Structure 1
Amino acid sequence: MLLYSQPLTRILRLTLDDVRYHDGQINLCLGDPPTPLPEPFAELLLRHLDQRLNLTTATNQNSRWLFPGRRGGQPRTPDAIERRLRDHQIPILSGRTAALRQLVLQAPAAVIARMLGYSDEQTSRVATEAGSPWSRYAPVDEHPHT
């Protein structure tokens, strides 16, 4: 959430299939291409994969959710996670906003949009507001006019 500015609801919809290994790098499928996960977050994710909760019931033992919920076949609910984040004083909305601003300062908004599953318009607006040096970067037109 704070690393790649993802909504909690989107994070909770991730599955084991969204975690990919390529050339020794752990990637998370948030957009296209998959997003590389830096250390120490990659190690934390691997540890989480080995210790996922709510897998002890008969209806949930084969769950593919990255964060399985208590109900069989369902991911964890945002309410429970939001409470835990607030208890640890982790800012949800302002933290996501700050993360996105930082990302568009580091790379073109169009690149960030595709990697993280955002719209070009949304990341371009944030880049402009942040005073990004990439704010005038023109994304590649995938559908050139002939």
Structure 2
Amino acid sequence: MVLSRKQSVVLVFGVFDGLHNGHRFLLGEARKLGNRLIAAVAQDSVVAQIKRRPPVHSLAERIKMLEESRLVDHAVPGDTTLGSWSAVMKWKPNIVALGYDQTELEKELRTFIKKENLPLAIVKIEAHEGNRLHSRFLRTS
């Protein structure tokens, strides 16, 4: 699928609990795919459900960090219910860019796209410096 850069909206999903170089790389690569980049930031309750621990920073703090970084055009709260895909339905992206470690999210999103018959491309962004910059390796206890 060839998309015109003039009309490409790119959506990324993530926790973004502290911005590190891996996040910056992901967002920079996603930015190259279109002219508008939106980040759906995981709700605190969803983070606790997926990772079995609360995020270090609140949803409001994580959104503020992203917006102040200028790495995205918009940072928006993610779904309160896993699998509802409200950001996809609201923002109608041409592309969803996923990180190398978002395999389960990719499977669920592909199922949703097929079910809803959406004209949406998924682009997997490779890891920056392997997975050395994954948040779980950078967190201090």
Q: How does the TM-score come out when normalised to structure 1?
A: 0.31
The structure whose RCO (Cα within 8 Å, separation 6+) is larger is: 2
